[in-house]
Amino acid sequence: MTIKNKVVVITGASSGIGESTAKLLAIKGAKVVLAARREEKLKEIVHDIQNAGGNAVYHVMDVTNLDENHKLIEFTKENYGKIDVIFLNAGIMPNSPLSALKVDEWNQMIDINLKGVLNGLAAVLPTFIGQKSGHVITTSSVAGIKAYPGGAVYRATKWAVKDLMEVLRMESAQEGTNIRTATIYPAAINTELLDTITDKDSLEGMTALYKKHGISPERIANIVAFAIDQPEDVNINEFTVGSTNQPW
């Protein structure tokens, strides 16, 4: 398998999709670098991975800080000597109608969901371009391919990630840098995303939706592993994933 011995960096790795992906890739033989803000959670996950025979380290960082993204790449190279894949997964979803004017939450989503991806790219692309190989994977959302009331800014950030990744794929092909891309559009996945919603009506609606249709983050981890495990000359660019019973 092409996953074995690959060095994979995962942001937003302290819970949910990031945690599940780190554990699965480690089982499959990858060397995993977990990155997030919550050190205790990261330490616990790395401990679990190592106890299961996997190879993992963690690095505390904030994706909204460009310098900390550069330090994450440096940390990875210091520990493993290279980097093959970066999974830009950190995100928040404090949905609300635009009329609620939760401007601070709008800015938080832009900073984490969009600028966090841009910062990760700015940090890793020099390495990928220099070695003429690499794989960038991002977590977008079904909200990144369809418009729904109640979460315009969240959706705007996820649409932006969709376009950003598509252009990265095209430019890499034109420039001959062999950088693979994969954008994942999850529907309702049972993670901590709902914990960020402060608008009462939005929280009630999303909670009911997730209770009915939510599936495990391990399902997304399987998709990440599948994308990485393809031959180097194969790029599967997009995955839309959700419950069989959810009409997203």
Tens digit of pLDDT for each residue in 149-166?
Answer: 999 999 999 999 999 999
> Which residue out of 58, 80, 148, 154 is catalytically annotated?
154
Q: Which domain holds residue 91?
A: 7-231
Distance (Å, rounded) from C-alpha 54 to C-alpha 10?
Answer: 15
Instruction: Over range 97-116, report the average pLDDT.
Output: 97
Catalytic residue status for 210 = no
User: Across residues 174-192, what is the average pLDDT?
Assistant: 96
pLDDT score of 1:
52
- What DSSP assignment string belongs to 38-71? -HHHHHHHHHHHHHTT-EEEEEE--TT-HHHHHH
Residue 166, exposed/middle/buried by CB under 10 A (0-12, 13-18, 19+)? middle
- Structural domain contains residue 247: no
145 assigned to some structural domain: yes
Which pair of structure tokens corresponds to residue 149? 């009331």
Residue 15's CATH number: 3.40.50.720
Number of domains in the chain: 1
